[in-house]
Amino acid sequence: MARRLEDKMVEPMTVGIFVDEPSEQLLERALALEPTDACLADLAQRLKTIAETEQNSLLRARALFLLGKYYSAHYNYLEAINVFESGWQHCHLLAPDEQRSYLLLLCKSHFALGQFESLTGRSSDLLKLARETADPTYEIEVQSLLGSLHVVLGIFDTALQHFDRAVELVNQASSPLPAHLLFALGRFYYAKSDGKNSLYYYERGFLQALPEKDRQIEGVILNNIGVYYSDLKDYARAIDYYLQAMKASRECGDAWTLTLECNNLGVDLLERKRFASARRYFYLALGYIAKLPSTSRESLIKGNLGELAQMTGDIKAAQQFLHESLELAIQSRDSRRLQERYEDLALFYESTGDLVNALKYHKLFHRQKLQLVESSASVRSTLLQNKFELEKLRQEQEIHRLKNLELSTAVQELEQLSNQDGLTGLFNRRFFDSQFQAMFDKQLKKQQSFCVMLADIDNFKKINDTFSHTAGDEVLKIVAGIFMNSLRDSDIVARYGGEEIVALFPKTSLENAVKVCERIRIKIEGYPWQDLERDLNVTISIGIAENLYDSVQTMLSAADAKLYQAKRKGKNRVVS
């Protein structure tokens, strides 16, 4: 018996006719309507007629886009595809956001009807648009759809890559995973026979659908949870989920999912030999499918009616249903459904002792199975080619980005070199002077305290003369490193000349600046200089001034005077 996972149609209303109503006004009215609004189909048809009369390609494309949205919103995927395909050649005339929506709805319709080859052929365009847009919601939908396509084709590693990307985008937005993505992850694990994780994601998806107020996805998820319990032969629980699913789908007018829910409920009732109830739900499913023609789904349901007739001993009715199911499968061009129907007929004729027909359909079954394998291989090959081309495009874009980045980085490096002291890695005097003036003006305007420090390595000439200029250079580097590691990112420290180091402390009182400099002085004094040269000792003298002066020159002169005092008092000290 065929039970199906979920992978509304209403009649369009006639709106009031406005004599000689301009197309611009019609379009404005149509754009203001929701895709589910029954008036939209009539307005879109009228716009299409006007566009064809006026030979207005853009208006025709927009009319077909609106009409396709209408059919898609009512789950009439076959009509949606027909409409979208007829306007495809002029789709490029639409605005970028309309083009993206147009292609996504078309691809979703292909997926819903099991037209995986058609979807595969458009997957590279879909992914390219997703990567070009700045709309993460759109890319999340695309990645989820392509992940689901790869699940159906059994390419699980690539499916997981698409899902991972979708999850990454959601996390970047600090949002909860949407219900449709959680549902897709549930199907991924179901296809991998991981029931525990499958149920986990289905249940999470259902809970997420509640605040999203999405009754349609609620129904879809409840249906799939029902299938999960059916597989465990827990039919009582499965039936309960199917009934809940049907309630949700009825409330949102989703006849498409209702066909599956009724069919699945009928299958479980058939398993429990409740034949009358099973028949009732199968016919209920046929009633829903009549509202949105799908020969593939009608084939599924009639195949189950054939099995029901066979189980109740009505061989003639069983034969009729199974052959009707086969004809519908042929009309649908659904390779998987056709394979199922050939197998059903082979088993049916074998059970009735008609070995000639049993052999006939058995051969057709295996031929169709082989064709399906070849078709799947072709689809996989196309997907791999698309993946290769997209990766090539991504690499070309990355090369272009890196070239621009290299140029930008080179400019930054040149700027950095022009501002940096070559020996110590500290800022140089030119950069310090420019920052000092800017900080002075800023802090003066805001009336905030800041300090400047001027430091000098004690007896530096003696170090050079005693241990060599190379040793002196190493001392400068180490002292500079201690300063850089001891200060905040907002502080500015520079080599002012020779063995002098200068620093700016924004938003810092004189008391706090003294504390910072005292810690630095202690670190320099306590550094293991003997590892560099035996008998080497290094200390530093520091002078600090607060911004109580009328210019940067007088402020720096004050710090220099404090440094001079530190030297006179015996060096290795901080004076403020």
pLDDT value, residue 8: 36
pLDDT value, residue 217: 94
Phi, psi of 33 (to 5 degrees): -90, 150
Q: How many residues comprise the chain?
A: 576
pTM recorded for the entire structure: 0.62
Distance CA 260, CA 326 (A): 19
Q: Torsion angle of alpha carbons 567, 571, 574, 576, nearest 10°? A: -20
pLDDT, tens digit, 9 for 90 and up, residues 399-420 = 566 566 665 555 455 455 567 8
Q: How far is CA 286 from CA 219, 296, 304, in A?
A: 18, 12, 11
Helix (H) or strand (E) holding 29: helix 23-31
Distance CA 433, CA 553 (A): 10
Joined together, the tokens standing for residue 196 give 């525990």
- Which has the closest alpha carbon to 268: 246, 253, 295? 246
Phi, psi of 538 (to 5 degrees): -130, 130
User: Per the CATH hierarchy, to which homologous superfamily does domain 429-575 belong?
Assistant: Reverse transcriptase/Diguanylate cyclase domain (3.30.70.270)
Query: Using an 8 Å Cβ cutoff, are 87 and 68 in contact?
Result: yes
Q: How far is CA 143 from CA 27, 83, 137, 204, 230, in A?
A: 32, 24, 10, 19, 29
Q: How far is CA 262 from CA 111, 114, 309, 312, 317, in A?
A: 21, 20, 17, 20, 21
Distance CA 432, CA 501 (A): 11
Would you please indicate which residues are annotated as catalytic (active-site) residues? 499
Amino acid residing at 538:
V
Which parts of the chain sit beneath pLDDT 70?
1-21, 375-418
Helix axis angle, 275-289 to 295-311, nearest 10°: 160
Distance CA 431, CA 439 (A): 12
Distance CA 257, CA 7 (A): 9
Q: Torsion angle of alpha carbons 45, 46, 52, 55, nearest 10°? A: -130
Query: Using an 8 Å Cβ cutoff, are 456 and 502 in contact?
Result: no
Distance CA 203, CA 183 (A): 9
Distance CA 434, CA 427 (A): 11
Structural domain boundaries in the chain: 429-575
Joined together, the tokens standing for residue 130 give 């997703």
Query: Using an 8 Å Cβ cutoff, are 98 and 62 in contact?
Result: yes
Which three-class secondary structure string do you get for 471-484? HHHHHHHHHHHHHH
**Number of helices (H) and strands (E), helices first, in the chain?**
23, 5
- Tokens 């509640």 correspond to 210
Which three-class secondary structure string do you get for 298-310? HHHHHHHHHHHHH
Distance CA 379, CA 150 (A): 10
pLDDT, tens digit, 9 for 90 and up, residues 463-513 = 988 988 888 999 999 999 999 899 888 899 999 888 899 999 998 899 999
**E strands within 373-483?**
451-457
Helix (H) or strand (E) holding 259: helix 255-271
Q: For residue 461, how many C-alpha atoms fall within 13 Å in the half-sphere facing its CB?
A: 0
Radius of gyration of the chain (CA): 38
Q: Write the DSSP string, 488-508.
A: -TT-EEEEEETTEEEEEETT-
Distance CA 456, CA 559 (A): 12
Helix (H) or strand (E) holding 393: helix 355-419
Distance CA 168, CA 160 (A): 12
- Which has the closest alpha carbon to 508: 484, 490, 483? 490
Query: Using an 8 Å Cβ cutoff, are 254 and 291 in contact?
Result: no
Burial 95-107 (b: 16+ CB within 10 A, else e): eeebbbbbbbbbb
